[in-house]
Amino acid sequence: MTAAPEMLAQSGRLPFALEALWLVPLLPLAGFLLGGLVLRPLKLRWLPQVAAGFVLASLLLSLAAVKAFFGLFPPGSEHPALVTGAIDWLPVLPGLSFGLGTLIDPVSLLLLVVVCTVSFLVHLYSIGYMADDPGKARYFVFLNLFTFSMLGLVLAPNLLQLFVCWELVGASSFLLIGFYFDKPSAVSASKKAFIVTRFADLGLLLGLLSLAWLGFRLLPGLQAAGAVPPGLEAADFALLNHPAFHEAVLALPPFVGLSLLSLPLLLLLMGAAGKSAMFPLHIWLPDAMEGPTPVSALIHAATMVVAGIYLVARLFPAFAAAVTPLEVAAFLGALTCLFAAVIACSQDDIKRVLAFSTLSQLGYMLLALGVARADHALGHTAGLFHLFTHAFFKSLLFLGAGAVIHAVHSNDIWRMGGLRKKMPLTHISFLVAVLAIAGLPPLAGFFSKDEILRAALEGGHTTVYGIALAVAALTPFYMARIYLVAFGGTARSESAKQAHEAPAIMTIPLLLLALLSVCAGWLPMAEYIGLDHGHAAHHGIHWNIALPATAAALLGLALAGWLYTGDRRARREALASLLGPLGGVIRNKFYIDEIWLFFARRVIFRGISAPIAWFDRTVVDGAVNAVGWLSRALGASLTLLQSGQLQGYASWMLAGTMALVLGLGMLLGGN
Amino acid sequence: MSFFPVGIQHWLLLCLALFSFGLYGLLTRRSAMGLLLAIEIMVNSAAVLVVALIHLLHPGKLDGQLSALFFIALAAAEVVLALGIYVPLARSRPSGDVTQLNDLRG
């Protein structure tokens, strides 16, 4: 491990863009407050443009920061982790406080660029997409809130800020999935997403608390020994990623067979798996497609769902020191990417196919991180590289699908068809994205997929490599399937016949993203993000990886062409009968939703919720009711004294006075 | 001066007797007017007591008698109030029986 993150205490000498990086998340926050509190109540029509403007400012500032950072520390050299704009936020105890700030290193800058770019393009696209929606002001306000939260998450210098923003992105995702709140399916989808991710966040919170506790207990010793730089706090990533911290934690006695480093990281991995929709917590993501399509592109494809990947990448040195969590991550990633790719081949809703494809690609990224090790960190670079390229082509796919849905008024690919001629710009950009995700050279997906496959093979994970190669064939198949069915052939419905191209405000972001989907792969990513320089450097194309990967992609494309160009119903039916009952199982997404539902109804409702409800209704409510009954009974008995009889009162008064006089007499006249 | 020497204890006894008669009347009479009279007797017993005690402490001074005049004025004011309540009451409840006036029963 050569690049242990270190803090440079050279504040004040850094370029302005790095010093003022805290503005990047705060600009969309200002947009959120201005839009939500001022512009929306005033019903101002240019609210969307203002919202997009704030994100554009963030984008420009973050690009300036990237330029300044790599100007100071040229690509290929050692990249330190800087913390700027730090403020003391939560002083809990002496020696235990949590700050806010912006962490600047290549990984956070990468995410910064991805989030700002995609968010800005989605804002632009939404101006056209949501033009006729009565709730568009609310939509843009939430979109700004999301952008703020995501940027805060990406720039978090410690686990606590990350957690706060993590929950904020969850909340804004909830708000945007349930944007069409008069649609019952959207409401239940938003609740499902919130509850499933909250359940996973339990693990994140527990992991955070254990890591912060370990940091708090070990920090004084480490500082006294001079092993860590001064000025660190308990939950700072700079501490949690420090080799001296790992050594100190690994020296502690293990708990239930796991080291004290693995255990919190496994809990964090649970949170990451929930947010990044890994099996078996993936069930919320396909349903989240109930939200507006640009939201799916931004939140549920390019940015929020990669937060889990980002968390693992951010704590990668700690994960690498613990190893076990990385093995779990590789397993989870491989399982999810295969499983989701298989389901994606069977779905007819264009957004659902894209959602399962997102799952599969997220699995790919997690797999890449999982096969990386401290001494062979290529997977770390590869996972983040794929995150980078995937953000562009997947948001492009979603935005293209949005344009198609806008034109055809249906999500069903079998009601589309023949859109190639009617929507030429959308068609071109969608085609580019399909080829990019398929991994054909020289498009973006080819390079990042190539890196992942190489990381898996060179790391000695042959099973994982095999799965990844299989998925590299499945991905082009299902993507080509929806492309051929939706854009090829002839129109299959009346609305598809009358479809026409989207307005320029929607096609311009599509074309920009198409450009990025072509070029994003040409970056020598290992020069920018690499934990072991030199070893992982990008030495051109590796033929032993590129050839099988490209062959797999071509195989998938050819199979899709064989099944879906022209009228090939007979071939498809033959294939379906070949699969037999397995086809139904795949079509029903392996019944995972039903298993969860059974678990929720039978185990959680009956075993946990029902006893708690009984306790609440009988014991807690009983105690409250008993107090009420007692006061009423006491009051009822005391009303008997109030007889309304004057002379009765007079008698009481006499008795009271006499008692008072006698008492006073005894008290005063005693001696 | 007189054939029967009157001391402070006689005045005290008189006051006690008057006060007790008043109290007895207050607790036993049923007519509202009777209650008013009983209260007047009790107020007057207190006035006599004040006169007697001040005369005992400061013989030859008129302070006691003056306070008694205040007492009478006070009692008169009180009667005005009481009658102010009593007259409308007597209109609606001609019997004037206080045991029937239990509208404020809890």
The complex's ipTM works out to 0.82
Q: How many CB pairs (< 8 A) connect A and B?
A: 32
Q: How much of chain A exceeds pLDDT 70, in percent?
A: 96
Q: What is the pLDDT of residue A123?
A: 92
Tell me if B50 is assigned to some domain.
yes
Tell me if B74 is assigned to some domain.
yes
Stretch A513-530: mean pLDDT: 83
Tell me if A96 is assigned to some domain.
no
Tell me if B104 is assigned to some domain.
no
Tell me if A537 is assigned to some domain.
yes
A530 plus A600 within the same structural domain: no
Of A638, A642, A650, the CB nearest to B26: A650
Tell me if B68 is assigned to some domain.
yes
What lies within 8 Å, CB to CB, of A24 at 6+ separation is A58, A61, A62, A65, A102, A112, A116, A151, A155
Rounded Cα distance, A476 and A341, in Å: 10
A427 plus A481 within the same structural domain: yes
Tell me if A545 is assigned to some domain.
yes
CB contacts, 8 Å: B35 with chain A: 646
Q: What is the pLDDT of residues A112-136, one digit of tens each?
A: 999 999 999 999 999 988 888 888 8
Task: Look at B98 and A647 and tell me if their CB atoms are within 8 Å.
Answer: yes
Higher pLDDT, A210 or A583: A210
A479 plus A523 within the same structural domain: yes
Please state, rounded to an integer, the average pLDDT across all residues of chain B. Answer: 87
Q: What is the pLDDT of residues A12-57, one digit of tens each?
A: 578 888 888 888 899 999 999 998 898 888 888 888 899 999 999 9
| Domain, as residue range, for A445 | 346-587
Could you give the number of structural domains in chain A? 2
Q: Which residue of B has its CA nearest to A654?
A: B23
Task: Look at A641 and B105 and tell me if their CB atoms are within 8 Å.
Answer: no
A457 plus A598 within the same structural domain: no
Question: B15 CA to chain A: closest CA distance, Å?
Answer: 17
CB B15 within 8 A of CB B45: yes
Tell me if A340 is assigned to some domain.
no
Rounded Cα distance, B46 and B32, in Å: 22
Best residue in B33, B98, B103 for a mutation probing chain A (most A CBs within 10 Å): B98
Tell me if A239 is assigned to some domain.
no
CB A586 within 8 A of CB A342: yes
Question: A629 CA to chain B: closest CA distance, Å?
Answer: 19
Q: Which residue of B has its CA nearest to A636?
A: B106
pTM attached to this predicted model: 0.78
Q: What is the pLDDT of residues A528-543, one digit of tens each?
A: 777 765 454 555 667 7
A671 has a pLDDT exceeding 70 = no
Tell me if A410 is assigned to some domain.
yes
Higher pLDDT, B76 or B90: B76
CB contacts, 8 Å: A650 with chain B: 26-27
Lowest pLDDT segment from A410-414, A513-517, B49-53, B99-103: B99-103
Amino acid at A242: H
Q: Which residue of B has its CA nearest to A651?
A: B27
Task: Look at A643 and B105 and tell me if their CB atoms are within 8 Å.
Answer: yes
Tell me if A463 is assigned to some domain.
yes
Q: What is the pLDDT of residues B55-74, one digit of tens each?
A: 888 888 888 888 889 989 98
Q: Which residue of B has its CA nearest to A639?
A: B106
Rounded Cα distance, A82 and A140, in Å: 32
Task: Look at A651 and B101 and tell me if their CB atoms are within 8 Å.
Answer: no
Task: Look at A644 and B98 and tell me if their CB atoms are within 8 Å.
Answer: no
Q: What is the pLDDT of residues A414-425, one digit of tens each?
A: 888 778 888 888
A400 has a pLDDT exceeding 50 = yes
CB A516 within 8 A of CB A117: yes
The residues of B whose Cβ lies within 8 A of any Cβ of A are 23, 26-28, 35, 98-99, 101-106
Q: What is the pLDDT of residue A2?
A: 32
A367 plus A454 within the same structural domain: yes
Task: Look at A644 and B106 and tell me if their CB atoms are within 8 Å.
Answer: yes
Q: Coil, helix or strand for B31?
A: strand
Residue where one domain finishes, among candidates A587, A609, A627: A587
Of B23, B26, B102, the CB nearest to A644: B102
Task: Look at B104 and A642 and tell me if their CB atoms are within 8 Å.
Answer: yes
Question: A663 CA to chain B: closest CA distance, Å?
Answer: 20
A6 has a pLDDT exceeding 50 = no
Please state, rounded to an integer, the average pLDDT across all residues of chain A. Answer: 86
Task: Look at A646 and B28 and tell me if their CB atoms are within 8 Å.
Answer: no
Stretch A161-185: mean pLDDT: 91
SS (H, E, C) A574-605: HHHHHHCHHHHHHHCHHHHHHHHHHHHHHHHH
Residue from A101, A113, A116 nearest A70 by CA: A113
- At residue A602 the predicted structure's pLDDT band, cuts being 50, 70 and 90, is confident
- At residue B1 the predicted structure's pLDDT band, cuts being 50, 70 and 90, is low
Q: What is the pLDDT of residue A660?
A: 95
Lowest pLDDT segment from A312-316, A371-375, A661-665: A371-375
| Domain, as residue range, for B28 | 13-96
Tell me if B102 is assigned to some domain.
no
- At residue A433 the predicted structure's pLDDT band, cuts being 50, 70 and 90, is very high
Task: Look at B101 and A644 and tell me if their CB atoms are within 8 Å.
Answer: yes
Amino acid at B18: L
Of B35, B101, B105, the CB nearest to A642: B105
A631 has a pLDDT exceeding 50 = yes
Q: Which residue of B has its CA nearest to A638?
A: B106
Higher pLDDT, A182 or A643: A182
Q: Which residue of A has its CA nearest to B32?
A: A646
Rounded Cα distance, A351 and A157, in Å: 35
Q: Coil, helix or strand for A158?
A: strand
CB contacts, 8 Å: B105 with chain A: 642-644
- At residue A7 the predicted structure's pLDDT band, cuts being 50, 70 and 90, is very low
Tell me if A280 is assigned to some domain.
no
Task: Look at A643 and B27 and tell me if their CB atoms are within 8 Å.
Answer: no
A530 plus A597 within the same structural domain: no
Amino acid at A441: P
Best residue in A637, A641, A643, A647 for a mutation probing chain B (most B CBs within 10 Å): A647
CB contacts, 8 Å: A644 with chain B: 101-106
Task: Look at A639 and B106 and tell me if their CB atoms are within 8 Å.
Answer: yes
**Burial bucket for residue A626 (CB in 10 Å: 0-12, 13-18, 19+):** exposed
CB contacts, 8 Å: B106 with chain A: 638-644
A570 plus A551 within the same structural domain: yes
Rounded Cα distance, A499 and A440, in Å: 30
Q: What is the CATH number of the domain that holds B72?
A: 1.10.287.3510
Report the Cα–Cα distance between both ends of chain B, in Å, rounded: 59
Question: B61 CA to chain A: closest CA distance, Å?
Answer: 30
Tell me if B105 is assigned to some domain.
no
CB B93 within 8 A of CB B100: yes
Task: Look at A641 and B106 and tell me if their CB atoms are within 8 Å.
Answer: yes
Could you give the number of structural domains in chain B? 1
Task: Look at A646 and B27 and tell me if their CB atoms are within 8 Å.
Answer: no
Q: What is the pLDDT of residue A656?
A: 95
Q: How much of chain A exceeds pLDDT 90, in percent?
A: 33
Question: A658 CA to chain B: closest CA distance, Å?
Answer: 13
A88 has a pLDDT exceeding 90 = no
A288 has a pLDDT exceeding 50 = yes
Q: What is the pLDDT of residue A573?
A: 79
C-beta neighbour count of B30 within 10 angstroms: 13
A412 plus A509 within the same structural domain: yes
- At residue A5 the predicted structure's pLDDT band, cuts being 50, 70 and 90, is very low
Tell me if B7 is assigned to some domain.
no
A484 plus A580 within the same structural domain: yes
